[in-house]
Structure 1
Amino acid sequence: MPIELQKLLAYPIPAVRQTLTRQQSAFYALSVGLGSDPTDERQLAYVDYGRDLCAMPSMALVLGHPGFWLGDPDSGVDPRCVVHGEQRITLHAPLPVEGEVIGETRIVGVVDKGPGQGALLYTQKEVRDAGDGRLLASTLSTTFLRGGGGFGGDGTPRFGSHQVPDREPDFLVDLPTRPEQALYYRLNGDDNPLHADPSVAREAGFSRPILHGLCTFGVVCHALLKTLADYDASRLRGMALRFSAPVLPGETLRCEIWRDGSFRARVPERDALVVSNGLATFAGSAD
């Protein structure tokens, strides 16, 4: 049924003040697959909090995260129909590995795809240092609300999508996910039961709980840092992608990467395209 637009627009998405610890920064990196090779010093720089720790850039997605607020009936949205469609991040400054941050999330657009069709919800989050107010990162999410169209709104999408080159990729990177990875990842603050409860997943039309889209984002971010930046997080300036199909925990992500920062990802076990229209921007040039 159509979303209740006025309830959605009026919903008070809470600002979140978060005290970040080194252990949480390391846990986030572990939850998206860093440390899979515990002898790789470059990966250990993100997960061994006893050393000079680095923050994964994609951690901006969970800092100051307001939780699954669309699961609240007062949002005007059926939570069973919520699917993550697109995600962008822009890094304005290096992310801290500890300290206090504030995340403020707001709705920046709602698109009506028509009666019986879906709706697109655009939300932006700004992550700032709680001490000096410095902007650290901004994120832009597109959420597809299945069956939520028909409320009489504008049907024009707000943002275009990057087209990857029409040739073979320059690099292929296979990164496995773990069967229990969604259960780890949800401890970062994204507690949508779709990723943990088999009955909720079946009601939503999936055979079993699926991996969080933002976890998939983090795994792909790992592949990009490894391939185009030699694990130097400070070089990543931005990253955008479209989620084309869900990933099941335990599947492999085969990341296809071009030297210009274009990318997409497949699950070879099903020959399924799961991430498309990807583009990452880096400071400096890749080797």
Structure 2
Amino acid sequence: MQELNSSLSNSFSLLKKVKTMQTFCSKHPDCHMMQLEGHAPFCPMCVRQSKYERDTAIVMQGAWQSYRRAFHSVLQCDSIFDDDDLKPATFANYAVEKGSEAETNLNKARHIAGQYLDRNYKANTIITGVPGVGKSHLAVSMVKAVNEHIKPDAACLFVSVNELMRLIKDSFSNKNSPFTEQRMVKLLGGVSLLVLDDLGSEASFQSNHQEASEWVQQVLFGILNKRNRTIITTNLTSEELTKIYNPKLLSRMYKGVVKNDGVIKFTNATDDKRKVVF
């Protein structure tokens, strides 16, 4: 209390030293300039306006940061990985040999990621090929690059299809689960760019490729029917996908793919990066 009284006393003392001048502010013609002894003259209205603008700028900066986090952090907070080793993946740490198929596909992935920076680019991308060649790594790199550079900011998401289905199924018996079918279809259907990783795995773990369950296809259709900017990775060929999914779902997967040369294909020319040599 003593410190407060002392501060107020000092403020009143300064106010007594402020003198009203005969001159007027050039910006506010009705306002007299004022001067504190030993300091340059000032306009009280200009001071108030400056403070208001400064306070507004601080508020707007905070609002902008909150707005950007609301979009920018979706990728980090809401993505669903079944392999945490993928999280650090970027274009920079995707190892390739010069002149290899992997280098060609890396360059194509970079190019397509650049196209997704244009919100008017409406096309899906299929990354296909044998397991272990880095399809998921490229997909993570693409969505990260778009998430970082798209203007204005937009929500992006990476989702393992197999893990997504497991979490949704778990929500059937867990009322507190955030992974309800309704919420996940709405979330995945609404983001600007979505990666559906390892499509087909939910139906192809068995020795013979059986048709994906009707429920799985309904969930995927609900997501893809709302979208036209999706990156899909799969170990399966188009012929194998035809045996698993119904034509209506396939048509949603292939939106804009042929027209925009949206297939990134790996063959046996690219070594399995995860194979173990005994």
Q: Which has the larger radius of gyration?
A: 2
More helix by share: 2
With structure 2 as the length reference, what TM-score do the two structures score? 0.25
More strand by share: 1
Higher relative contact order (CA 8 A, sep 6+): 2
With structure 1 as the length reference, what TM-score do the two structures score? 0.24
